[in-house]
Amino acid sequence: MIRRKTTDIGLSVSHVFFGELIQILKSQHMENNTMELTKEQQKVTFMTADILLEHWQGHRRLTRKVIEAFPEDKLFTYSVGGMRPFAELAMETLRMGPPGIKGVVVGTWPTWNEVEKGYPSPKTKEELLKVWDRATDQINSLWPHIAQERFQEVVKMFGQYEGPVWWSIMYFVDNEIHHRAQGYVYLRSLGIEPPHFWER
């Protein structure tokens, strides 16, 4: 807890400090607005396509570790609170990957029913991991074919969800994080230590 000393005029020291800081920032902002950006400054990008891919694949590497952590039988049968077994959750995130990026590249999207038929559920952990690794290779192969301007274009992924390409890809990542968290709960309830979330 920060202890604040009160001045004679009834203002706290922290209040005075932040008031001065705001004035400095306002002054710098006004100065910056009067300067023209150089061509090099205009080229600066917060996140490149390669960084976005590595971010996604980092999450996929972590999800793969979660799959590996499950006992063979529990991977396909165990659930908590009526939620689906983790093998089914993993397959949902996997099915979004290659078909989703292929849709971005070629401009046409299969329906979700068609995707499920194209990616049938495996019966063993070994088989699931092989399908996962194959999807990783497919995503990496398709990714370079996405033009930079394509990330800002609006698509309707799987004929259902409309938004910019970058938003669609972030949805793939968010959905995976959501379901992986369920896997963490399953593992904890089984007395198994999940992988560290920061090790990707």
Closest CA to 96 of 110, 75, 83: 110
Burial class, 181, CB count within 10 angstroms (exposed 0-12 / middle 13-18 / buried 19+): middle
Q: Is residue 144 a part of any domain in this protein?
A: yes
Residue 21 sits in the same domain as residue 103: no
Closest CA to 104 of 44, 179, 172: 172
Number of domains into which the chain is organized: 2
Is the Cβ–Cβ distance between 72 and 123 less than 8 Å?
no
The boundaries of the domain holding residue 6 are 1-44
Residue 85 sits in the same domain as residue 165: yes
| Position 21 pLDDT exceeds 70 | no
Q: Does residue 149 sit in helix, strand or coil?
A: helix
| Position 106 pLDDT exceeds 60 | yes
CATH number of domain containing 160: 1.20.120.450
| Position 124 pLDDT exceeds 60 | yes
Q: Is residue 184 a part of any domain in this protein?
A: yes
The pLDDT value given to residue 15? 47
CA dihedral (159, 165, 170, 176) in degrees, to 10, reads: 40
Residue 67 sits in the same domain as residue 7: no
Q: Is residue 198 a part of any domain in this protein?
A: no
Q: Read off the amino acid at residue 108.
A: T
| Position 19 pLDDT exceeds 60 | no
Q: What is the pLDDT of residues 125-141, one digit of tens each?
A: 999 999 999 999 999 99
Residue 112 sits in the same domain as residue 19: no
Residue 11 sits in the same domain as residue 69: no
Residue 97 sits in the same domain as residue 52: yes
Residue 93 sits in the same domain as residue 7: no
Residue 75 sits in the same domain as residue 7: no
